[in-house]
Amino acid sequence: MKRSVRRAVLTVCVGVLVWWLALMPASALPAGLVSNWSGNGTAADATGTNNGTYTGGYAPGDSGQQAFYFNGTTRLSATSTNIPTGAAARTVSLWIDATSYSGSQDTYWAAYGAAVPDQAFQIGQYQDQLYFDCDGTGFYGGSFSLNTWYYIAVEQTSSGAQAMYVNGSLVAIVSRTGGNLSLNTAAGTNFYIGGGDSTLPSQYWATGAYIQNVHVYSVALSGAQITQDMTLPEPSAWLVALPSVLLLSATRRVRYPRNRPNAA
């Protein structure tokens, strides 16, 4: 292959590589990540050891990924090793696309703890309202639309306040001076996606909900970290493999027979 042709091929490969780097995450998820259930065709915990047992199926999700799908009889159950309990600081976030509103009962999208006042940590909905509940007391995060993807994060700060973020914006905060919830999450319980504690009846389980990228942090994320957690994509398999393909294409030298005829 002529040197000029090889140079042209290398230029194209470098250009594609630059494009690929632009698609890849600029940095890792924020520090303090304890568990990470992507829902992208697996119930495994990509960060910790809390692999899930999932009885449902997967469906097309957001950003080209797959998502867990819950129909009112399915949910994911996982252990809660290293997930914060008591009044410890934490952040729990997820992406949700609900296709129906709950009735007269709360519906939980991510939950753990016990069905005892103040001992649960549950994110979900009450009718058309986003809702956080610690069993008996909670607060709302505003109304939401059906068939729309939302990023929801709820955190407990080291000062004892609770806050909810929706699509990266702070929408609700309950401060210590304003009568914060007396959160005291029970230890040794399972973490559930698509439903609540096992002692709760099935009407608390999500019906018609797509959920993906459920993250648990052992810290209360800052506003900037919330944005980072919300916007960081998880690369597809073909994006991960692309650098090797480009490197091979750019460096491979085609060998011709020694006595090939000269080009006209």
Rounded to whole angstroms, how far apart are CA atoms 111 and 89?
16
Rounded to whole angstroms, how far apart are CA atoms 176 and 245?
55
pLDDT recorded at residue 3 = 59
User: Taking each helix axis from N to C terminus, what angle separates 3-23 and 237-251, rounded to the nearest 10 degrees?
Assistant: 160
- Nearest alpha carbon to residue 130 among 158, 81, 85, 94: 94
DSSP-assigned beta bridge partners for residue 67: 59
Radius of gyration, alpha carbons of the chain: 23
Structure tokens at 175: 């401060």
* pLDDT tens by residue, 84-113: 999 999 999 999 999 999 877 889 999 999
Give the strand order in the sheet containing 76-78: 52-54, 76-78, 191-193, 106-113, 120-126, 129-133, 138-143
Count of C-beta atoms within a 10 Å radius of residue 61: 22
Listed as ranges, residues in the chain with pLDDT below 70 are 1-27, 175-180, 197-203, 232-264
